[in-house]
Amino acid sequence: MENIDFNSIKRKIEKEKCSKHNQHPKVEKTAKGFNILACCEYFRSQMTKKMEKVMAEEIKSSIEKMLKKSFK
């Protein structure tokens, strides 16, 4: 899965803004995955759900690109 752009995922999450506190989350890459630092737990849980969706889309796109290359 070397084709996954983790910086793109990070940018998509960090551009979001908490509607209550008007702050952006911070995404840190760890050995076990990602860690989202947010101003409140509610916003953190929202960003965790969004990250799951973004990661799934990115992985799906990466797999599709690999399959297209392998069947040419």
pTM, rounded to two decimals: 0.80
Inter-CA distances, 9 with 12, 17, 68, Å: 5, 15, 22
The neighbouring-strand residues paired with 30 are 33
- Pair of tokens at residue 2: 């070397």
Residue 1 in any domain: the answer is no
Banded model confidence at residue 8, pLDDT cuts 50, 70, 90: confident
22-40 pLDDT, tens per residue?
999 999 988 888 899 999 9
Residue 29 in any domain: the answer is yes
Domain of residue 32 covers 6-70
Q: 16: exposed, middle or buried (C-beta count within 10 Å: 0-12, 13-18, 19+)?
A: middle
Overall number of domains in the chain:
1
Q: What is the mean pLDDT of the chain?
A: 89
Banded model confidence at residue 18, pLDDT cuts 50, 70, 90: very high
Residue 55 in any domain: the answer is yes
